[in-house]
Structure 1
Amino acid sequence: MSYTFKVSEHHAGRRLDKVIRTLWPNLPLGAMMRGIRKGLVRVDGRKTSCSVRLEDGQSVYVPWEEPELIEKSVKTKRTGALSIVYKDHYIMVLNKEAGLIIQPDQSGEESLIERVWLEVEPEGDFRACAVHRLDRNTTGLVVVALHGQSLRELQRAFRDNDVDKTYLVAVRGQTPLEGDITAPLQKDRDHNIVTASPDGLPAHTHYEKIAGDDECSLLKVSLLTGRSHQIRVHLAISGYPVIGDVKYGDFALNKQWYHRIRLDHPLLHAWKISFRRLNPPLSYIERREFSAPPDRLFLKFLRTKGWQTYLEGV
């Protein structure tokens, strides 16, 4: 099952990945990227890259059916658009949706960085790279490096803790006005579960209450360390699990909110990010704050609680 086509004058000068997306709009993005990366897609018999620009008359071999047949057999959502908060020559700041992984993996699912690769011309041999991670079902800000120099400086900033990250979180119960949680955290990589343990790594979470009632609270949460699942576990062990969190949360409350607003992911949003110190070439964005609004379901939750105006000026 394969197909070979000649590059027409109409497609000459366009990137290989763009031409494939035009001819096979419903082909899963992960399948296309994996085919090119593994050399299964060939131009004039040679392995190539996503960004190569095709020439009139070149022969392109792909390991899937011709466009008309695959359109009939493959039923999948088209590639989603990028929600761009900020972009320049060196960096891009995106607002990630729930359910989207950051990096491509063996599952073949569409990833955020593959969307970026389709939209951004590579800087020489450098391909855009996400500097940090968010869990699949966490929404909000992701910083992407578009240049090798910016990647190195952003990695240094995260490593040296020169980053301020603020999350918007809805939890079960009436929390104190503010609090600090410092339980060490240990990850079981075989089961992808994090627990509080004296043998774990140091972790520090600070929260401030924005609004609350007997049922739940809306929190502004700051990460002073960046451990896996840190906010979810720290709040859960404190008795305030994140609403919508199926791994560490309250099943009964999650079910209630599913029926009320069809909530299908945790109400955990990477809301704001800024860098306290940045060296060239990124010193121009030092202390600049980037922010992104929460998604549709989080906003629906806020409206249901009457808390939609509480975010103003926070």
Structure 2
Amino acid sequence: MAAKTMAKRSEKSSKGDPRLKREIVGPREGGQRLDIYMIGVFDGLSRKQAKKLIDQSKVSVNGKIEIMASHEVVPGERIEVRFDPPEEKRKPPEIKLLYRDEHFLAVDKPSFIPSGVTMDPGRLTAELLAKKAYGAKLKLLHRLDKDTTGVLLFGINDEATRSILEEFRKRMVDKTYFAIVSGKPPEKFDDVRHIKEVPGGRVASVASGGMRTETSFTTLAVANGCALVECRPKTGRMHQIRLQLSARGFPILGDALYGGAPRVRIGEEELEIPRQMLHAYKVAFNHPASGAEMEICSPIPEDFERIAKALFGVVSVLKKKRC
């Protein structure tokens, strides 16, 4: 009975984001393992589900990601869990067309879905949505992370697919991203490091070996302890931009996997961050048939622009970057 009462209380505490549930550890609840505490206060949550949420870096204690299910909760600690909405209740997102000809097309990838097929064959992806809308023979040419929005390219015929993939391989594709981060980065900086995949679905820097990554960064605006950063990756490794910024002390807002804050304070108000604030704004490359220079951009998404305006005021740079 007590667990149900507390669960209802936690549901009422997250009006800003229905996926985010909060609880404050009570005086008599201290000393429990974090996963045990979670199943007591969040209605319908099993211990296996609690452990999975912790492993996915979706649980924070006093604003910091907690990765240990064995963490002993302390009275007064603020426990926050970011739940994924149930697949069956989630309306399939729209996949907007940015460009199309007989050789390739570009779509505007929405957040919260993977780019391509995953280990779960029934999972909704941008690739499945694009094939359903624009043709079953499309070939995915690159990937964006699940919560990253922006330009995603598909080949329509084999020759175009090979040509564009070769441009990616030779690093001839010019990519521009926008990120909103914590901290005050330098006006301009480059990051070159080697990384490798590690357990937990993430990457880490390594002193030797691994894969080389390189990105150039330009800080466009700074306010309220945060910054708007333009990112131009020269390589295209998994989580490259996310790790590089985090490793330099400027994690992307909402990026739980790499220490990004789930909310920021502006004066007396707290601003909830709905997802990782990373947007793939533009790609530029040579057309696979004509050789003409192509430049395709994705409009700044509403949630990204809303957070940017709240933090930095009227951001003229974003207005100039409209497609």
Please indicate, yes or no, whether the TM-score normalized by the shorter chain is above 0.5: yes
Counterparts in 2 of 1:302 and 1:129: CA distance versus 1, 3 Å: same
Tell me which amino acid in the other structure corresponds to 2:132: L
Structure 2 SS opposite 1:202: strand
For residue 137 of structure 1, what is the aligned residue in structure 2? 147
Would you say 1:94 and 2:114 are equivalent positions? Answer: no
Structure 2 SS opposite 1:100: coil
Deviation at 1:100, TM superposition (A): 1.0
For residue 133 of structure 2, what is the aligned residue in structure 1? 119
In 1, Cα distance between the equivalents of 2:105 and 2:181?
30
Verify the 8 A CA contact 1:169 1:218 in the aligned structure 2.
Answer: yes
Deviation at 1:111, TM superposition (A): 0.9
Structure 1 SS opposite 2:213: coil
Deviation at 1:262, TM superposition (A): 3.8
1:154-199, Cα deviation, whole Å (9 max, x unpaired)? 11010011100000011111111100011211112x4222111122
Give the TM-score of the pair, scaled to structure 1: 0.68
1:42-83, Cα deviation, whole Å (9 max, x unpaired)? xxxxxxxxxxxxxxxxxxxxxxxxxxxxxxxx9544533221
Tell me which amino acid in the other structure corresponds to 1:113: E
Give the TM-score of the pair, scaled to structure 2: 0.66
For residue 288 of structure 1, what is the aligned residue in structure 2? 294
Deviation at 1:260, TM superposition (A): 4.2
Tell me which amino acid in the other structure corresponds to 2:134: V
Matches within 5 A, 1:291-310: 291-305=297-311, 306-310=313-317
For residue 69 of structure 2, what is the aligned residue in structure 1? none
* Higher mean C-alpha deviation, range 221-230 or range 107-116: 107-116
Counterparts in 2 of 1:194 and 1:290: CA distance versus 1, 3 Å: same
Would you say 1:170 and 2:164 are equivalent positions? Answer: no
Counterparts in 2 of 1:282 and 1:228: CA distance versus 1, 3 Å: farther
* Higher mean C-alpha deviation, range 156-165 or range 212-221: 212-221
Structure 2, unaligned stretches of length 5 or more? 1-86
State the identity as a percent.
24
> How large is the Cα RMSD of the aligned pairs?
2.1
For residue 151 of structure 1, what is the aligned residue in structure 2? 161
In 2, Cα distance between the equivalents of 1:307 and 1:130?
36
Deviation at 1:87, TM superposition (A): 1.1
Matches within 5 A, 1:64-83: 75-83=88-96
Select the residue among 181, 184, 191 that pairs with 2:194: 184
Tell me which amino acid in the other structure corresponds to 2:206: S
Matches within 5 A, 1:1-40: none
Deviation at 1:90, TM superposition (A): 1.3
Verify the 8 A CA contact 2:141 2:161 in the aligned structure 1.
Answer: yes
In 1, Cα distance between the equivalents of 2:108 and 2:293?
19
Provide the aligned length of Structure 1 versus Structure 2. Answer: 230
Which structure has the greater CA radius of gyration?
1
Select the residue among 308, 311, 314 that pairs with 2:318: 311
Structure 1, unaligned stretches of length 5 or more? 1-73
In 2, Cα distance between the equivalents of 1:201 and 1:75?
38
Tell me which amino acid in the other structure corresponds to 1:105: T
